[in-house]
A and B are shown apart, each in its own frame.
Chain A
């Protein structure tokens, strides 16, 4: 995959939604739900098909200036995981 973009977008099979009762974000899909931890939620809410992986890391660094050094790496690792799970896609 040489021309794969670096810009993730949400797979339309999944819907990201804040759930008050769950006190956090969830991913909804046919007949199922995945509860996301706070860092996964912060990353996925920035996935919009416009921001690149780097843009997402920069935005998070700005929002959490005191986050540990490996934040950028965490973003990359999580988005790889999210791609494997098909939550996000790259055109």
Chain B
């Protein structure tokens, strides 16, 4: 875009971008055979259709790669539901991307694993809901999914892919950390994310059920350390804890608009995969080039740097470490996306965290909301609740 005059709207600005989008997350589809109640996808389920075409995705990959993007995550929903996945992987690999498939494994076959290998896929990340078949199938709300995942894990290794296993940890399965680690070792995983669920999307709706208590987290950490101490070779385990119990916020997305670019199934471009909940208008790749979006769109520039920061962030000597924390979390918990992330104990809203964590393990409602169309929450209602 050389003619900036034609974009002299609120959406177009002189850029504050100082780095290229190194990480491109391509959410190919929101459709998924599983219905996990902690899915980070939007809770309105209105964007399940109107997906980008193969050639539109290719254009996005090409433009991002030209800007210096190196990591490409094929995600969703379940990316295997896209019939053109192999074609997109092959194209991305040809452009020089390191290609990551982030999958539930449901719908994978040996034929497709082989075809993806031929296409040049670099790595497969497989998610598990539990190390226990019954719990796994219950959380994903799909029968026999555990058995399928085990078979796929074996195929991933048989076809010489680096394999990352991602176990989503919640109050429902945190007690089985040792079984999770034993299973990961047996399956010969290279890396294992023991990822306590982050509370966005469906997970935010179900937070009171999902959030482990502090003592559960401490026990899990001890179990992990015990396992690591007697480990000889085997997977590298990474334990991701929920920041609700911390005193400093996470450096969300390594800073807004510095590293990450998410493109959703319908082509919306976001600085993080949760950002669509924010009261900002996000651009769409159907109407702009990736470069124009990254460099000049209002939404991408809005939280870049520290001009936007409120007190106490503005004068804080740690502002370059955590960038004020997570904008989505500030919005979800305080209703104002410009506020300091309430996880920070310097935030005037930090007391909110204590109210939430004090109630961990004692949910007021009796049932988990699974990610289904029936449970979908209309967009307007979300805005009313959070306004």
Contact = CB atoms under 8 A, between A and B. Distances in A.
A32 interface: yes
Interface in A12-30: 12-13, 15, 17, 19-22, 26, 28-30
B355 interface: no
B70 A28 contact: yes
B191 A30 contact: yes
B98 A15 contact: yes
B22 A31 contact: no
B190 A30 contact: yes
Contacts of B20: 21
Nearest to A21: B68
Contacts of A22: 68
A30 B100 contact: yes
A33 B71 contact: yes
Contacts of B123: 29-31
Contacts of B100: 30-31
- Measured as residues with beta carbon below 8 angstroms from the partner, the interface class of chain A is 10 to 19
Contacts of B23: 31
A12 B157 CA distance: 13
Contact of A17 (B68, B96, B125, B160): B96
B20 to A, nearest CB: 6
A31 B68 contact: no
B162 A26 contact: no
Given A21-B20, A31-B73, A31-B100, A12 B68 contact: no
B243 interface: no
B71 A32 contact: yes
Interface string B149-178: 000000000001010100000000000000
Contacts of A17: 70, 96, 98
A30 to B, nearest CB: 4
Interface of B: 20, 22-23, 67-68, 70-71, 73, 96, 98, 100, 122-123, 125, 160, 162, 164, 190-191
